[in-house]
Amino acid sequence: MPQLTIDGQLVEVPEGTSVLEAARHAGITIPTLCHRPGKPPLTSCFVCVVRVNGGARLLPSCATPVAEGMVVESETPEVHAARRTALELLLGDHLGDCVGPCQSTCPAHMDIPRMIRQIAAGQVREALITVKERIALPAVLGRICPELCEKACRRGQADAPVSICLLKRHVADLDLASGDPYRPECAPPSGKRVAIVGAGPAGLAAAYYLAQAGHACTLFDEHPLPGGMLQYGVPEALLPRDLLQAEIHLILRLGVEFQGGVRLGESLSLEELRARHDAVLIATGPTAPEAVRALGLEPGRQGIQVDRHTLATTLPGVYAAGAAVLPSRHAVRAVGDGRTAARAIHHYLSGSPEPARDRPFTVQMGRLQADELAPFLANASPEPRVSPTAEAAPPAPQEWGEPDPVAPPASGGLGGLSPDQAVRESRRCLHCDCHKQETCALRLHAIAYGARPNEYRGERRDYRVEQTHPETVYEPGKCIACGVCVQIATEAREELGLTFIGRGLNVRVAVPLNEALRQGLRRVALACADACPTAALRRKDDGPTPAPGEDTSRREG
Amino acid sequence: MAQGSETGGAGTSARVDLTFVDRLVAELGRTPDQAIPILQAIQREYRYLPEEALAHVCRISAITPADLYGVATFYSQFRLRPAGRHTICVCHGTACHVKGAGLIQEALERHLGLPPGEDTDADGRFTVQKVACLGCCTLAPVVQIDGITYGHLAPDGVPKVIDDFLRLERQGYASPPSHSPQTRGGLTEPAVLPEVRVGVGSCCIAGGSQEVRRSLEQAVRELDAPVVVKPVGCVGMCHQTPLVEVVQGGKQTALYARVAPHDADAIVRRHFRPRGLLRTARSAILGALDRLLTDEASTPVTRYAIDVRDAPVCAFLGRQTRIATEYCGSLSPVDLEEYLAHQGFVALRQALRQASPEELIATVTRAGLRGRGGAGFPTGKKWAVVRAAAGETKYVVLNGDEGDPGAFMDRMILESYPYRVLEGMALAAYAVGAREGILYIRAEYPLAVERMREAIRRCEEAGFLGDQILGSDFSLRLRVMEGAGAFVCGEETALLESIEGRRGSPRLRPPYPAEKGLWGQPTCINNVETYAMVPWLVRHGAEQFARLGTATSKGTKVFALTGKVARGGLIEVPMGITIREIVEEIGGGIAGGRTFKAVQIGGPAGGCLPAALADTPVDYEALASAGAIMGSGGLVVMDDRDCMVEIARYFLEFTQGQSCGKCTFCRLGTRRMLEILERLCAGQGKPGDLEKLEQLAGQVKQGSLCGLGHTAPNPVLTTLRYFRAEYEAHLEGHCPAGRCKALIRYHVDEQCTGCTKCAQACPVDAIPLTPYQRHVIDAEKCTRCDVCRGICPAEAISVISK
């Protein structure tokens, strides 16, 4: 049996084994998009490249047989860079949206399509959890959010966007009124203490997520009550204070302390805070450069200078978020920022490496042409956008089963959606997000290798979708021409099968003789869909959880 | 599902005769490897591939729809939608490109009123196709309409070309004259008879040599002189085509260049007397045979005699050494007798009688012969591997898929020395133990295909091929397979895929074809020129061959010398000669008094070397260390008006269009590189573009399966290495060479007499008609088509940087 070295590890595998397989034996997973174990290698994706014996070329490990004394480099910066470029090249020619445009646009990156599917499926509590994964104050934001997501909603191109903000408010209001509002699990206490200066939306959000991670948080604020601008800036008519109180309470009850009447730089110095806490988050709202310097921090262009991804300031353990970094009137951005800072602080405190970016990885196909939009519309409810009415108020709030109940918001129900309206509205969603976003190998490898989706973006293809096959859906724009489905169809001796047509950049997988997909794939369509490394070919019932199952309009006739 | 635009509208015709398809398949065979020949035959019949015909082929043969359709959409020869009645091929080879092929293409599209994205005019009369290279680089820029070649074109001459073609059509000119190899009137003529030799290589034919030959034959008939008009292979002086040489025993040989048909009579009469003195000479009035002329606006073709002792001709021919092109200009290509009279098949006879296969391989190894296709792998070593490989059946394959734009060495060798190539293949087959072989020749070389087929037939008749060759127990069957238009098939594993009837996607090596090649059997694949070297090498011995050249590069190399050089053509030079010697001595320096800027060597896989490196010798290693490659032999000379960024863009456009599309880096990486280059040429470069280009080039080079992707970045990398300042200038919006359209404008200076010629000729009305006033060009309307500059009698129009 040949012996070889992979990244310095000695491996012994039988003659004829590929380097890819041999690496697996050594516990090294080499990524691949076009290779199926035990099948002849297709050598198309070039994501599995390795360097062999210091050669000038990088070889596809799936097709390189091991040899005695071979020296393979797999996990080196140079090999990784090549894999990343291969992924970036594929992403640049991959037409789709991993996550919906609504989610990409939302400053807090809330998984809106999932929330909507959950509402459509009647899973209100699950929908609330989806919202609260990203938005700590959903009932509040359901009233004052600038609805950036709705501006990006593709449904808006056809008639009017899905009423996302009201849907979110709907689940949040129902939760508050339920008498048993959602209380996230908190990790066991970490023993770490975090000071959060400023109890506005950014600080509150950070406290919410840090508390869940088991860190002891104290919110300091110059005002007597928490809420910042929400409490002292937003008109009462827009945001009833009892509702704000209620939602803040849900954060404080996770063990977050609040100290009012404390002003940073006056009654409280940053030095003291740093001495008494393991980390400090500054979420004080707009801060003038002199004030920034007075704190011993570097001023940035508009506020405190921070690392774009981690929000870390120039002082170790000190972070900044919200308007303290970049003045903004959008509470939703502050809430998103608070979560980002919380993640970074958690990683800092637990000594783990830098967290992956908070923003979900996605390719984006941008605005659709009218004919491109049509297949999306065909699968959604044709009803117009529902308008909220006074009668649509949620059911009367109930007693909370909490030790320290706060009066449920009495004034918060007006202008919301009724449960029936919410379900109807949720069916208007076009579900632009990718049905295989959780399983797509291209996306998973891209995330793992830090591939940038727009690094090598090419000319946009036209979006097309073939839905006439009874079991599968084909989106050629997502095809990376790996050849797996062609190979499966050929192995199965499909009568027409699939073939590559064209050459070079225009190479596409198609059924020969311009026949429809249902003619080409009569036997192995599902096998092809399951093997497809992207969502180019997918099962009709593939989809992010929950499947838009209640949505019968999406079932093909 | 995928409705590719190229498939739209096809197959609705009810006129498809399926019995024709039946007959065809019955004749060619039902096996998968017949896919390409079957498609070629269908396309010959219908001018495109009707869908019913394809579906019927799948019904009656063993070819699957997936394979057939995959093949039909892979090769550029095949069309899936109907074509116009006439096909205009616009050559975009390197030589044509640097001489303005793009402007010709635009002028044609404008003149025919082609809608954007369409290649056929509304009446279905003309289909305009870009072709990679027609191989008449010395006539650049060239277009071919149904086989009629128009050379030395200018954009304003396009309407005249179309008119001329339509006139010929009305006069009953139906299709191009048959390229059927013709031989002189009987092999019985004694060899001592004087000869009038006329070149019949493609360049000469494109230059009009068939007409000249007919005129010469007529003149000889009328004079009844004891003279033979003999078609001969390429002389290599393609810049002087058509060439006629008069050879008389004991007399000085006379060479005539650029001969027109009406010159024939005078040439014959000058050298020869009638057989019967009483015979009255009739003046030959020759008809309208000038169909191969350049358009009327260009310089008329003039005749002038050149003496071989003239310095330029001596320089052109004198520095050359003939091995692959031995007896250049004196052999009638398909005349077997004559090949035999010039030591033809001596090497094969010698080897079969006196040498074992192992000894033959040892000779080739000792001679130091390396593959002439580009990579330079030692030929003897390859043969030894094939010989040693286990396998009952072994093959020899000729790689005649020469596809580099700007290169036509292999075409010339195949057309002019078909027997030499066959003898080389036979020697290889004997050495490696093959009994069967295939000559894969690109379809764009119809003359080469016909001559090789004819040569094989004659060799079989005469016992040089077939069973028990020359009385030995060595047998060899050879056949020709035509390529279908895919540059990547020049890559040996893609070529094998193509022979087996599939899309030309390369296979991963190892295993190398020498061990596992055609149909999985050991296969010896060599380039045309490599095989053509072998007979000489065997006849003269390894030592004499090895005496030529450098330490690691032995023998000679054939180059197609084109571009801005004064004397372009086909040359064979000893290895070790410097680029400067080639350009300045053989090529006569730069044409038109411009400055020598760079030489592109090795085609799309090669690199651009600056004039400063002109002393680099022709040597595999020396060229590689300079960033270029020996390549197959394209040598395009560039002057100060050639833009290096644009040249890099040109080559990358070519290779990315020829990528088979399998590997990520090649399919997408070359495209993204091209987009950066396009941005630069359009003056829209972004900061960081050069770094990104360089980085991507490096990764494409590293991460490609086959030679195409591996070498595609070379033209970019060498220009970045030697001409970085030019790239930086483009980033700032300047094209120092004044070539990139978006970065230049046309300017009328005070020399203008206000003659209005430019205003009348401007196809987009960018010049107001202002008689007796200095004309002004509207830069917004101007498309930089160059018509005005060409037409201005006062030379008042110039290109200036924006």
- Tell me the DSSP string of B668-711: IIHHHHHHHHHHHHTT---TTHHHHHHHHHHHHHHT-SSHHHHH
Query: Edge-to-edge, what's the strand order for the sheet holding A193-197?
Result: A257-259, A216-220, A193-197, A279-282, A318-320
What is the rounded CA–CA span in Å between residue B708 and residue B656? 9
C-alpha pair distances (Å), B761 with each of A194, B105, B791, B792: 79, 17, 8, 10
Please say whether the dihedral angle defined by the alpha carbons of residues B331, B334, B338 and B344, taken in this order, is positive or negative.
Answer: positive
Whether B669 sits inside 8 A of A85 (CB atoms) is: yes
Q: What is the pLDDT of residues B11-47, one digit of tens each?
A: 344 478 899 999 999 999 999 999 999 999 999 999 8
Residue pair B445/B206 in contact by the 8 Å Cβ criterion: no
Residue of A nearest to B504 (CA): A503
Q: Which residue has the tokens 């596409």?
A: A508
Q: How many CA atoms lie within 13 A of B276 on its CB side?
A: 7
Please, how many CA atoms are within 13 Å of residue B373, restricted to the half-sphere of its CB?
Answer: 22
Q: Is A492 on the interface with B (CB under 8 A)?
A: no
Of B4, B67, B710, the CB nearest to A502: B4
In this complex, do A497 and B671 lie within 8 Å of one another by their Cβ atoms?
no
Tell me the β-bridge partners of B228. B195
Among partner residues B1, B64, B65, which is closest to A516 by beta-carbon distance? Answer: B1
Q: Which of A44, A490, A499 sits opposite B662 (nearest CB)?
A: A44
- Rounded CA-CA distance B414/A327 in Å is 75
Interface test with chain B among A34, A80, A85, A460, by most B beta carbons within 10 Å:
A85
pTM for the full predicted model: 0.87
CB atoms A512 and B486 under 8 Å: no
Structure confidence at residue B304 as a pLDDT band (50, 70, 90) = very low
Average pLDDT over residues B243-260: 75
A16-29 burial string, b = 16+ CB within 10 Å, else e? Answer: ebbbbbbbbebebe
Q: Is CATH 3.10.20.30 correct for A101-182+381-401+413-426?
A: no
Cβ pair A503:B51 closer than 8 A: no
Evaluate if residue B1 carries a pLDDT over 80. Answer: no
Contact B659 A502 (CB under 8 A): no
Residue B701 distance to chain A (closest CA, Å): 7
Strands A71-73 and A3-6, how do they pair? parallel
What is the per-residue DSSP string for B42-98?
A: HHHHHSS--HHHHHHHHHHSS--HHHHHHHHTTSTT--SS---SEEEEEE-SHHHHH
Chain A residues inside the 8 Å CB shell of B710: 57
Could you report the per-residue pLDDT of B647-701, keeping only the tens digit for each?
999 999 999 999 999 999 999 999 999 999 999 999 999 999 999 999 999 999 9
- For A55, the token pair is 């050669």
Domains along the sequence of chain B with CATH: 5-72 (no CATH), 86-170 (3.40.30.10), 195-277+286-318 (3.40.30.10), 343-443+457-499+526-547 (3.40.50.11540), 643-736 (1.20.1440.230), 741-801 (3.30.70.20)
Tell me what pLDDT residue B180 has. Answer: 31
C-beta of residue B662 within 8 angstroms of C-beta of residue B497:
no
CB contact under 8 A, A45 and B661: no
- Bigger pLDDT: A41 or B207? A41
Nearest to A492 by CA among A41, A39, A33, A35: A39
Cross-chain residue pair B486–A503, CB shorter than 8 Å: yes
Class for the domain spanning A193-349: alpha beta
pLDDT score at A196: 97
Q: Does B343 touch chain A (CB under 8 A)?
A: no
Cα dihedral value B545, B533, B621, B320, nearest 10: 80
Size of interface A-B (CB pairs under 8 A): 157
Cβ contact A476–B696 (<8 Å):
no
Q: How far is B64 from chain A (nearest CA, A)?
A: 7
Do strands A279-282 and A193-197 pair parallel, antiparallel, or not at all (unpaired)?
parallel
Q: Is B214 on the interface with A (CB under 8 A)?
A: no
B253-281 residue pLDDT tens: 677 777 888 888 888 877 777 654 433 33
Domain with CATH 3.50.50.60 in chain A: 193-349
User: Could B665 and A46 be called an inter-chain contact, meaning their C-beta atoms sit closer than 8 Å?
Assistant: yes
| Interface-testing mutation among B658, B667, B686, with chain A (most A C-beta atoms within 10 A) | B667
DSSP letter at B229 equals E
Contact flag A513-B4 (C-beta cutoff 8 Å)? no
- How much is the average pLDDT of B397-412? 87
Instruction: Copy the structure tokens of residue B414.
Output: 């195949």
Cα-only R_g, chain A:
27
Helix then strand then coil, in percent of chain B rounded to 5, is 45, 15, 45
**Helix, strand or coil for residue B614?**
coil
Tell me what pLDDT residue A53 has: 95
Exposed, middle or buried, A499 (CB in 10 Å: 0-12/13-18/19+)?
buried
- Structure token digits, residue B369: 């012969």
B25: closest CA of chain A, how far (Å): 19
Interface residue of A499, A506, A508, A509 to substitute, partner B, most B CBs within 10 Å: A499
Find the CB nearest B668 among A92, A496, A510: A92
Report the pLDDT value the prediction gives residue B306, as an integer from 0 to 100: 41
Taking CA–CA distances from B711, the nearest residue in chain A reads A57
CB contact under 8 A, B65 and A497: yes
Residues of chain A with CATH 1.10.1060.10: 101-182+381-401+413-426
Query: Of the candidates B76, B671, B699, which has its C-beta nearest A85's C-beta?
Result: B699
Residue of B69, B74, B673, B679 to mutate when probing chain A, most A C-beta within 10 A: B69
Interface of A with B in 121-140 (CB under 8 A): none
Q: Other CB atoms closer than 10 Å to residue A15's CB: what's the count?
A: 10
Flag whether pLDDT at B8 surpasses 50.
no
To the nearest whole percent, how much of chain B has pLDDT over 70? 88
Residue B289 has pLDDT above 50, yes or no: no
Q: Nearest chain A residue to B701 by CA: give it.
A: A57
Cα(A90)–Cα(B671) distance, integer angstroms: 12
B73–A contact, CB cutoff 8 A = yes
* pLDDT digits 0-9 by tens, B733-776: 999 998 898 999 999 999 999 999 999 988 889 999 999 999 99
The one-letter amino acid code at B132 reads: A
Q: Is the pLDDT of residue B186 over 80?
A: no
B positions 438-497 inside 8 Å of A (CB): 486
Window 442-461 of A: residues touching B by CB (8 A cutoff) are 456, 458
Q: CATH 3.10.20.740 spans which residues of chain A?
A: 3-75
CB atoms within 10 A of CB B521: 19
Three-state SS at B289? coil
Query: In the predicted model, what is the mean pLDDT of chain B?
Result: 85
Across the interface, of A489, A503, A505, the residue whose CB is closest to B74 is A503
CA atoms within 13 A on the CB side of A514: 17
The nearest alpha carbon in chain A to B660 belongs to A504
Q: What is the pLDDT of residue B791?
A: 87
- Model confidence at B194, pLDDT cuts 50, 70, 90, reads confident
- Is the CB of B771 inside 8 Å of chain A's CB atoms? no
User: Are the beta carbons of B445 and B482 closer than 8 angstroms?
Assistant: no
Residue B2 predicted with pLDDT over 80? no
Instruction: State which amino acid sits at residue A394.
Output: P
A458 and B7 within 8 Å at the Cβ level: the answer is: no
Tell me how close the Cα of B72 comes to any Cα of chain A, in angstroms: 8
Average of pLDDT values for B225-237? 76
* CA closest to A510 among chain B residues: B2
| Distance spanning both ends of chain B, measured CA to CA | 47
**Could you say which DSSP state residue B585 is in?**
I
B194 upstream amide cis, omega within 30 of 0:
no
B55/A513 CB distance under 8 A: yes
Which residue in A20, A46, A78 has the most chain B C-beta atoms within 10 A of its own C-beta, making it the best mutation to test that interface?
A: A46
Name the class of domain A3-75.
alpha beta
Q: What is the spatial distance between Cα A321 and Cα A326, in angstroms, rounded to a whole number?
A: 8
Q: Using the beta-carbon criterion (under 8 Å), do B657 and A93 form an inter-chain contact?
A: no
Inform me whether the C-beta atom of residue A41 falls under 8 Å from chain B C-beta atoms: yes
Q: Which residue of A has its CA nearest to B73?
A: A502
pLDDT at B520 over 50: yes
Helix (H, G, I), strand (E, B) or coil at B430: helix
User: Which pair of tokens denotes residue B648?
Assistant: 């890099």
Residue B68 has its nearest CB partner, among A495, A505, A512, at A512
The size of chain A, in residues, is: 557
In this predicted structure, the answer to whether residue B187 has a pLDDT above a threshold of 90 is: no
Q: Would the CB atoms of A46 and B663 count as touching at under 8 Å? A: yes
What pLDDT does residue B252 have? 63
The share of chain B scoring above pLDDT 90, in percent, equals 57
Identify from A501, A511, A537 which residue to disrupt to test chain B contact, counting B C-beta atoms within 10 A and taking the largest count. Answer: A501
CA B663 to chain centre: 27
Q: Per DSSP, what are the bridge partners of residue B306?
A: B255
In which residue ranges of chain A is pLDDT below 50? 391-413, 548-557
pLDDT of residue B727: 97
Computed from CA positions of residues A222, A224, A226, A228, in that sequence, does the dihedral angle turn out positive or negative?
negative
β-pairing verdict for B797-801 and B744-748: antiparallel
Question: How far apart are the C-alpha atoms of B759 and A425, rounded to whole Å?
Answer: 65
To the nearest whole Å, the CA of A47 is away from the closest chain B CA by 8
Contacts of A449 (CB under 8 A, 6+ apart): A31, A80, A83, A84, A87
Q: CB B662 to CB A481 under 8 A?
A: yes
Could you tell me the pLDDT band of residue B249, with boundaries at 50, 70 and 90? low
E strand or H helix at B757, and its extent? Answer: helix B757-761
Tell me what percent of the residues of chain A surpass a pLDDT of 90. 80
